[in-house]
Structures are given as structure tokens and as C-alpha cells.
Structure 1
Amino acid sequence: MQGDPDTPQPATHGVHVSPLILKILITIVVSTGAYVLTNLVKQSGDELWKIAVAVVIGGSTLIVQYMVDFEQRLATVETGHVERSRRTDEHFDHLSDAAALLSDLDEAGMSTSDAKRLITSLRRVGQQGPEIVKAFARSEVESLASVVTDLTGKSAHWPRDNNEWLIRLTQCAQRTIDATSSSVDQPFWGTDTAGPYLDAQTEAMAVRQVTIRRLFMIKETEAEDPVVMARFTELCQAQLDVGITVRYLVLPPTPETNPHPRPAARDVVIFDTDLYLEFEPDQLGVNIKTTLDAHHERVNRQVRWFNALWSRAQEIVPDPDPHPDPVP
């Protein structure tokens, strides 16, 4: 229907005149005007002279038009050149900043190849991945950036358990690992995470000759329970078998008159006496916070605390033949 907004209407365009034709028309008009003007000013005279004057004025008009057009084109070229130069400078500044960052990473002993691989992979995910994959990648990068930023202050925190930190730090240890394992932590050894953690410790001892000490802390009620102690002895024996030095300490009961009871033991892992990982439990014994700390004074305090407990702890006597052959 005519006038329907959804019905395509024929496009209307103005008459397009070529710039060259327009210049010629202007020149002809000016020349004609000059010729007429010379006739009015000097009606008697040489006709050839009048035509010459008109041609000169027309030619001058044409030259002026080309000069104006040339100046406009030159200004456009200069503006484009300035813009391209600015973009080129910005591009080189970005490249310079990126090169400086990679150089700083290299000087700091960090892997530049991993940084390049991360950037390249993020670009590919941004170009190819669906929105949920992009959102997940951004979340992971933000989490990593947050942790690394916190580490510039030599500490980082994570809500709940962070067994990935525990395993990764074990893989990074070069000299020693000193760990306390409280009653809260003992059920951990029956979980799926305990296997990779124990494998990482075994590799650290075999490949890098890392010395590992583990101090178990148990309650008096647990020490008096034969069934609990049988399971506990089996757990200690399994760790002794792989080369971990094990001791245990029986904790005194918490006074009932204490209005604000705190956990009797803390699960702390000290790596190379340079950094420690602490798992903070709530009153129900559930770990609600993981703290990574590399402050020299606080690490030294943890080392002194661990050594004091270790000196008071009892040694586990290893079974000389944990799996004896049956007597025929």
C-alpha cells in the first residue's frame, strides 16, 4: 500500500555533477560575464581584445579553482598523515610497553613464554569461544590477577580450603616442608585430594631431596580410644613408608570455663622456611579460610612454633615388617 511505512520507497538522489564539469561551467560563466562586461565598459574597440580579456579572466578563474582544490586536498593529506603518525606512535608505545613488561618479567625470573601463551590463548578464546567460555576465562584471569596482586604484599587469602595451593607449593618446594596435621585435618587423608598431595610430596623427596616433617596433633579422647589410635597408627605408618618423618603430640583438653574456646590446633604447612600456608577452621572444625603468608617475621614465628612443638612430640616407631609373610 502506498504510504505504508514498511513498503520500500524509491530512493531520491540529487543530480550529481562531476567536479571537472562544474569547474568548466564556472569558467564559461565567468568568461562570458567578463566578455559582456568588457562590451559594456568599452563598446567600441577591438573584438579580439575583448575575447582575450574574457579568456584570461576565465583561465585565471579555472586556475584559482584548481589551486583552492589542491589546497583542500593538501590539507586533507596532512590531516591524514598526522592521524596516521599519531596512531603509529600509539602502536609503538604499546609495543614498547609490552616489551618493557616482558623484559621486567624476565629480569624478575618469571616465565615470559607463559605470559605470551596466556595472552595468545585469551585472544583465541575471545575470538572463538562462546560467551560463557569468555566469561569463565575472564573470571579465571581476574582470580589469578587478584592473587598475584595480593602476593606483592607477601600474603594472599582464599575462602575455604585451597588444596590446589597446597599441592602446587609442594611441587615448588626445594628444601623443607614442615606440616602440622590436627584432628580437623586427619579426615583429609581419606579424600581424593590426599592422593595427589602425597604423590607431590613423594616426588619432592625423590627428585629434589626435600625433607618433610609432619606433626600430628590428637586429642586426649582420641589417644584413649584404641580404635582411633589403630587407624591413626596405620596412617602414620603409611607416611613413614614413603619417607616422611612423623611425630605426634597429645593435646590437653580445652577448659570448659573458657567462654571463647579456640581450636586446639592449627593446620600449618611451612615451605622452605620462607612461606607458610595456614588453614583456619571454625568452631565446627570446618576449614573456612586459607592464608598464604611470606612475611619474614611471621614465617619465623611459625617456624619457632613448629620446632617447639616438634621437640615435645613423640616419635612413631616404624613397623620393621608391616606386612609379614604368613607362617606356614
Structure 2
Amino acid sequence: MAGRQERNSKLLRKTLITSLVSASTYVLTNVLNRNADEVWKLTVTVVIGGAALIVQYLMDFEERLNSMEQSLSAHHGELRTAVEKSFAGINEATELFSQVDRSVLRSDGVTRLARAYTQLGHQESELVKTFSQEEIGRLATQMESLSSGSVTCMGENNDWLIDLTTCVGTSIDATSTDVDRQFWYSEAASRYLKAQEDAFRNRNVTVRRLFLVRTQAEVTEELERLCQSHRDLGIQTRIAVRESLAPSARLRMTNDFIVFDGELCYETTPDMDQKPAETSLKTDKEHIEERVNRFNVIWDATEPVNAPGAAPGAASAGSGSA
């Protein structure tokens, strides 16, 4: 509506100016040449009036042309910015996927994750979208922390435990204290032991477990039966009694930890109630070497566990050696 009024206003202004110029020209020709033919006067008036009208249209055209140039320049700048931003995003995505392809890690999981994440963007539920973003953020933080050598989560993470056991290739060296004693009677423990049995039987993985206790009185028949159930799965087991160990080994008693392939350490830290407060994965070489050395010192200071009811000092036959 405003544009239409502006056009009408300009048209009226052009008409008035043209009329004024034409009238002035006619009057001027009468003053300057009274004897001139009337046709000549009208011709001059029309020509000059037309010229005035043409000049106005030319000025209007130039104004519109300048406005269009400015508009095109602004649009070109916006378009260029948008294209550069798009190409920057494409280049970043291309670079990331190129790095994934060059990595020794399998890239199919990353591709599946990216595709699934984009599909979730079409979900109508805002809750699903928000939850997906939180999960992606958590996974990204976990990968960043692991790449720096250590990642920690609150509580006990049985999924890490089972996944690492599924991935292990050569050895598992684990300690077990009274903090996780009840764990062995849980559903998660059944899956964990099944994964260890598969690793031993299918991939020839050596699995060693040290049960750490403070006194001889804690070596109960229940603990010995637990050790026997582990040996039945191909797991080497020993019980380390702190008060019976040599001082050099006694000083190395520790909280629960599991070393996978001598490359990664899974550790739990107990709280005041002696329950797992947090779980950590560590890949620092010096830390791993210290844990491996600590495990071997205690392992070498103990003997294979007797079968329940066996005579004292008799080593269990078939202690789960791989």
C-alpha cells in the first residue's frame, strides 16, 4: 500500500513539473518571438516539456538503479557469507570423516551414529531430541576424556566391564575385595563371567583373579566355593590374605582394579559405606605398569586356592590356566 502511494506521488510530481516547464516554455516563446507561428510555439513547448519528462524518468531510473546495485551488493554479501559458512561446515565434516577413514578404528559405527542422529532430528517429541543431544554430548565427553588418558563416571559401570571383556585379546588381571563381594551374585556378574568364559575358551585369553582379604578368618567356605565356580569357567584364582603376606607384598594391597591386555585399567573407588562410589578407565602407561607390577607381586606371594574341603596346603588341580 505504501509503495503504491509513493508511485502515485512520483507520477503526480512528474506531471506537475512537465506541465510547469511546458507552460513556461510557451510563455517564453511568446515573449521572445511574438511573430512566430503558433505551430512552432507549440512544437517547441511539446519538445521541451517532453525533454523535461524524459529527464525526470532518467533521474528516477538512475535512482532505482543505484538502489538495485546496493540491494544486489548486500544480497551478494549475504549469499557469499552463507555459502562460505556452508562450505566451512562441509569442509569440517569432510575433514572429520577423512580422519575417521584414515584412523585404525572402524568407521562404520561413526557413520551409523551420525545417520541415526540426523534421523532423530525429525522426531516430533522434544523430549526425544533433548535426550539424544544429552547422550551424544555424554559420549563425546567420554571419548575426549579417554583420548586424554582417563575417564570417570559415578557409581559402578558394569557396561564398561562387560564391553572391555568382550574386546580383550590376551589377558585380564583382576582384584576383588569385600567391596564387590555381593556383586558376584548379581545378574551383571553372570554376564561378566560369561564374557570371561567366552574370552578364555574362544580367544585363549588368560584370566587371573585375586581375592583380597585382611585376615585368615575371612577365608570362608563361601569364598572358596566362589573361587571354585570361577575356576570352573577357566579363570585362575588366588586368595591373598594381608596378614599372611610378606611385608613387601602387604604394602601393595589396594582397591579393586582390572587390567585388560596390560593397556587399560578399570578401577573402582569405594565410598564411606564401602560401596563403589566411582569408576575410572585409565590408559596412562606409567599407571598401568604400576598396577601390573602390583598385581604380579601379590600374585607371586600367594598359592592357588584349595578346592572346598581339600586338605590344607593342597593346590587345586587345574587352577584355570589358559
TM-score normalized with structure 2 length: 0.82
How far 1:195 sits from its partner (Å)? 1.3
How far 1:15 sits from its partner (Å)? 8.9
Matched residue, 1:268: 257
Give 1:1-328 correspondences, 5 Å limit: 16-17=4-5, 19=7, 24-43=11-30, 44=34, 45=36, 46-47=40-41, 48-218=43-213, 219-223=215-219, 228-229=220-221, 231-252=222-243, 265-317=254-306
How far 1:306 sits from its partner (Å)? 0.4
Confirm or deny: 8 A CA contact 1:27 1:59 kept in the other structure: no
Where 1:252 maps in the other structure, the secondary structure is helix
Confirm or deny: 8 A CA contact 2:252 2:294 kept in the other structure: no
How far 1:182 sits from its partner (Å)? 1.7
**C-alpha distance in 1 between matches for 2:259 and 2:10:** 87
How far 1:80 sits from its partner (Å)? 1.3
Worse-matched range after superposition: 22-31 or 300-309? 22-31
Q: 1:263 to 1:139 in 2, by over 3 A?
A: farther
**C-alpha distance in 1 between matches for 2:223 and 2:124:** 49
How far 1:178 sits from its partner (Å)? 0.5
How far 1:72 sits from its partner (Å)? 1.8
How far 1:110 sits from its partner (Å)? 3.5
Count the aligned residue pairs: 296
Unpaired segments of 5 or more residues in structure 1?
Answer: 1-12, 254-261, 322-328
Where 1:16 maps in the other structure, the secondary structure is helix
How far 1:24 sits from its partner (Å)? 4.9
**C-alpha distance in 2 between matches for 1:33 and 1:50:** 11
How far 1:235 sits from its partner (Å)? 1.8
Residues 232-267 of structure 1: per-residue CA shift (max 9 Å, x gap): 2322222222211222222229xxxxxxxx996421
Residues 116-155 of structure 1: per-residue CA shift (max 9 Å, x gap): 3323333333431523333332332232222222223201
**C-alpha distance in 2 between matches for 1:243 and 1:206:** 8
**C-alpha distance in 2 between matches for 1:135 and 1:213:** 43
Where 1:31 maps in the other structure, the secondary structure is helix
Residues 173-201 of structure 1: per-residue CA shift (max 9 Å, x gap): 11111111122222211011101111221
Report the AA paired with residue 222 of structure 1.
Answer: E
How far 1:108 sits from its partner (Å)? 3.1
**C-alpha distance in 1 between matches for 2:160 and 2:47:** 95
Higher helix share: 2
Where 2:152 maps in the other structure, the secondary structure is strand
Worse-matched range after superposition: 297-306 or 264-273? 264-273
Residues 149-176 of structure 1: per-residue CA shift (max 9 Å, x gap): 2223201222221111111111221111
What value does the CA root-mean-square deviation take over the aligned residues? 2.8
Worse-matched range after superposition: 140-149 or 299-308? 140-149
Confirm or deny: 8 A CA contact 1:212 1:245 kept in the other structure: yes
**C-alpha distance in 1 between matches for 2:271 and 2:10:** 89
Residues 276-324 of structure 1: per-residue CA shift (max 9 Å, x gap): 1111223532121212111111110100000011111111356779xxx
Where 2:148 maps in the other structure, the secondary structure is coil
Q: 1:136 to 1:40 in 2, by over 3 A?
A: same
Unpaired segments of 5 or more residues in structure 2?
Answer: 245-250, 308-315
TM-score normalized with structure 1 length: 0.80
Matched residue, 1:7: none
Provide the identity percentage: 26
